[in-house]
A and B are shown apart, each in its own frame.
Chain A
């Protein structure tokens, strides 16, 4: 069991930069460019890992440690969910731990970034927190719908054998899909990084290996949320589940990137009002689940 979990985590961790590479290729083709090789994201990360970083004068321990904490959070979150194989660390209440880990990843990233003292990092962090808090609430609502449906706080029991044909389940999945999009900091929502506006925001002071770890974490965050969505969508016990997982874990980001290619960037207030609309919808889903629809 444990070895399967390890294989799961290792496989997805290794696959994540490749997914990003394929996305970049597709995006380039849509923009009439040739685009980098699909392994480019891996090459980028490998290069960053080899490099020493430059730190600002006031860089604290928090600033240096944060990237690793964020990365560890996300790897742990992956271990809690079945990915390629139907195996995961499972215990009562792991739903709560999962939500905690995903949220903590954002929070630690922000703490590390703010401690650099850079005003752009502060602005970026401001935006990151605004978006993270708003969208995590929607994730919470979506998962809560399934918890109410199954009456359990254990992930393995929450994941459905077959998708319940209720209105609330559909609303939950739909809002989770949108949150996955928003949280993966894609246009028009890549506001915390917004390069031309705030010069990378939360990322601005990171360099070298630490920047590599942060970038890797952002890529992993996308996969974690996609995985949560897939696990709620497909029956994990079916024999075709591993294949379906791999297909979807590529297909969903690719669909996202096609949307992203044709978007500009929202301003933070425009994005937040959209997200607020989203959790009203997700909240309605929970209410429906409570009364049994």
Chain B
């Protein structure tokens, strides 16, 4: 293992200056013209996957705009951060999307927010900024004040998508408001009778730019709370991820007990999230009784979270350097008893449900994502594991207390909806086992590292295995107890584009369950904080109008 890491360093050395920032994090300062070659090497040559791109306006520091492409090399248990910089006068650099499809959205996001243009990008164009946002205003640049108002222009009536070769098919809008979605996202299905020919996606209706707020207004230790509110289902994983990123940047040692507490809560969160997903999947398949059963079983898990943290959801436990509150040892026995009951009830109901003909026949062989497509799009979490990719941050880049527990990673090869369902089902059982092990062997001691010194302009990467896959936060520390740059990337960001591939050639009736099978967390992807109908949203897509026209 060691020798292969050094081999990797040697190989990357040909492209620029390589530094090992800390164990499991390699930094390469490369020439921007070499980016496609490096991406080719890391993604295809070394079997890594593409994780995130971060654009940073570092003009106040060195006068340049920087782009960081982060790859995970699972085999070697290391992240590789490839840095390239460009002068703001001519902000152009080669795109890596032709080599690694997964970078498509990430690069467009950098263009939207920082204003770096990627030459050779196959689908350039706005991704996140609303249509009425003025040209040439880049909101994540440092000279754009967080509270400034921009004057907006004309809003087009329709969602603009590329329809080449799809003329003549019926367009069926799924969203922005649709009973199967529960969040405002827009899929356009091109339908021939009951068959889906192709699909297009438009999201980010609820993007609110919380990273801007965090960089401008919040202090280092306030960010975990806004990070936790990124998602209403898996928020804790975001706050953990952020704290880990800062801890990695500043080299902070977190007390062992705090790591155990984090792992315990992360697994509790996974259990309730997967149960919620299973319930929703059954509802989408018309099996509402299954939804009710899942919600009943899940209720006990929510109570366990409340017993441990005082909150059913949004635990508010994390600070940089540890956790804020200890968990109540006195309730350990009650929690363990409750977990045993949850496991029994859950396994029993799932075994009954998986014997139902409608459930199996409507998920088996439906919405297939092949291994190759999964690799190409760098999908994460249960979606990747259902397509035969053995990836899990908990095993590959151990964090918190996962190196102390024993668990299995379920992997299926069929890549269909049923596989994704089974992966999540088995993960719940594994997670229950993990929580039991953690509670049994939790060491006593401190829970927070009080003396925290955070140096300026250090880079850190934090990654956790969220219920939906790898959650990654990239942090550059700043002065005055602030973060200079914070980029959270939720797993659904990498997973949603694969929905389009899964939908092609499927029946219309299966579309909702295929969309749902990715467990897309649109709010995470968009970094929603407060639910609100933003001005632009209603104007861009009007449901009734789309319907009338089509």
Binding site for B on A (CB under 8 A): 30-33, 56-58, 117-120, 122-123, 126, 187-188, 190-191, 194-200, 261-270
List chain A residues, Cβ under 8 A from B180: 196-197, 199
**A32 B293 Cβ-Cβ under 8 A:** yes
**B292 A33 Cβ-Cβ under 8 A:** yes
Task: Report which of A32, A188, A191, A197 forms a contact with B292, defined as CB distance below 8 A.
Answer: A32
Binding site for A on B (CB under 8 A): 170-173, 178-180, 191, 194, 282-290, 292-293, 296, 356, 358-359, 361-362, 507-512, 544, 547-548, 550
**A123 B508 Cβ-Cβ under 8 A:** yes
**A119 B194 Cβ-Cβ under 8 A:** no
Q: Given known contacts A199-B178, A264-B358, A267-B507, is B288 in contact with A119 (CB within 8 Å)?
A: no
**A190 B171 Cβ-Cβ under 8 A:** no
> What separation, in Å, do the CA atoms of A243 and B261 have in the docked complex?
65
**B179 A196 Cβ-Cβ under 8 A:** yes
List chain B residues, Cβ under 8 A from A33: 292
**B287 A119 Cβ-Cβ under 8 A:** no
Q: Given known contacts A197-B509, A197-B511, A265-B358, is B547 in contact with A117 (CB within 8 Å)?
A: yes
Rounded to whole Å, the gap between the CB of B317 and the closest CB of chain A is 31
**A199 B287 Cβ-Cβ under 8 A:** no
**B544 A119 Cβ-Cβ under 8 A:** no
List chain B residues, Cβ under 8 A from A30: 289
**A196 B509 Cβ-Cβ under 8 A:** no
**B286 A196 Cβ-Cβ under 8 A:** yes
> What separation, in Å, do the CA atoms of A120 and B170 have in the docked complex?
11
List chain A residues, Cβ under 8 A from B293: 31-32
Q: Given known contacts A30-B289, A268-B194, A270-B361, is B283 in contact with A196 (CB within 8 Å)?
A: yes
> What separation, in Å, do the CA atoms of A119 and B189 have in the docked complex?
11
Chain A CB count within 10 A is highest, among B171, B289, B293, for B289
Rounded to whole Å, the gap between the CB of B517 and the closest CB of chain A is 13
> What separation, in Å, do the CA atoms of A195 and B178 have in the docked complex?
9
**B172 A119 Cβ-Cβ under 8 A:** yes
Q: Given known contacts A119-B171, A263-B358, is B288 in contact with A194 (CB within 8 Å)?
A: no
List chain A residues, Cβ under 8 A from B194: 123, 126, 268-269
Could you jot down 10 A-B contacts, CB within 8 Å?
A: A31-B288, A32-B293, A117-B548, A120-B172, A194-B509, A196-B286, A262-B289, A263-B358, A264-B285, A270-B361
**A56 B547 Cβ-Cβ under 8 A:** yes
List chain B residues, Cβ under 8 A from A198: 508
**A119 B358 Cβ-Cβ under 8 A:** no
> What separation, in Å, do the CA atoms of A266 and B362 have in the docked complex?
8
- Interface of A, secondary structure class, is loop
**B282 A264 Cβ-Cβ under 8 A:** yes
Q: Given known contacts A31-B292, A117-B548, is B170 in contact with A265 (CB within 8 Å)?
A: no
Q: Given known contacts A31-B292, A56-B548, is B362 in contact with A190 (CB within 8 Å)?
A: no
Task: Tell me the nearest residue of chain A to B173, going by C-beta.
Answer: A119
**A188 B358 Cβ-Cβ under 8 A:** yes
> What separation, in Å, do the CA atoms of A127 and B544 have in the docked complex?
22
> What separation, in Å, do the CA atoms of A30 and B288 have in the docked complex?
11
Rounded to whole Å, the gap between the CB of A263 and the closest CB of chain B is 6
List chain B residues, Cβ under 8 A from A194: 286, 509
> What separation, in Å, do the CA atoms of A14 and B178 have in the docked complex?
34
> What separation, in Å, do the CA atoms of A195 and B361 have in the docked complex?
20
List chain B residues, Cβ under 8 A from A120: 172, 547
Rounded to whole Å, the gap between the CB of B487 and the closest CB of chain A is 34
List chain A residues, Cβ under 8 A from B547: 56, 117-120
> What separation, in Å, do the CA atoms of A35 and B508 have in the docked complex?
32
> What separation, in Å, do the CA atoms of A30 and B356 have in the docked complex?
17
Rounded to whole Å, the gap between the CB of B159 and the closest CB of chain A is 15
**Top-4 shortest CB links A-B:** A265-B286, A264-B358, A264-B287, A31-B292
Task: Report which of B179, B284, B544 forms a contact with A199, defined as CB distance below 8 A.
Answer: B179
**A268 B509 Cβ-Cβ under 8 A:** yes
List chain B residues, Cβ under 8 A from A200: 179
Rounded to whole Å, the gap between the CB of B172 and the closest CB of chain A is 5
Rounded to whole Å, the gap between the CB of B513 and the closest CB of chain A is 8
Task: Tell me the nearest residue of chain A to B180, going by C-beta.
Answer: A196
List chain A residues, Cβ under 8 A from B289: 30-31, 261-262
List chain B residues, Cβ under 8 A from A123: 172, 191, 194, 508
Rounded to whole Å, the gap between the CB of B205 and the closest CB of chain A is 18
Task: Report which of B288, B509, B548 forms a contact with A58, defined as CB distance below 8 A.
Answer: B548
**B170 A119 Cβ-Cβ under 8 A:** yes
Task: Tell me the nearest residue of chain A to B547, going by C-beta.
Answer: A118
List chain B residues, Cβ under 8 A from A264: 282, 285-287, 290, 356, 358-359, 362
> What separation, in Å, do the CA atoms of A198 and B172 have in the docked complex?
10
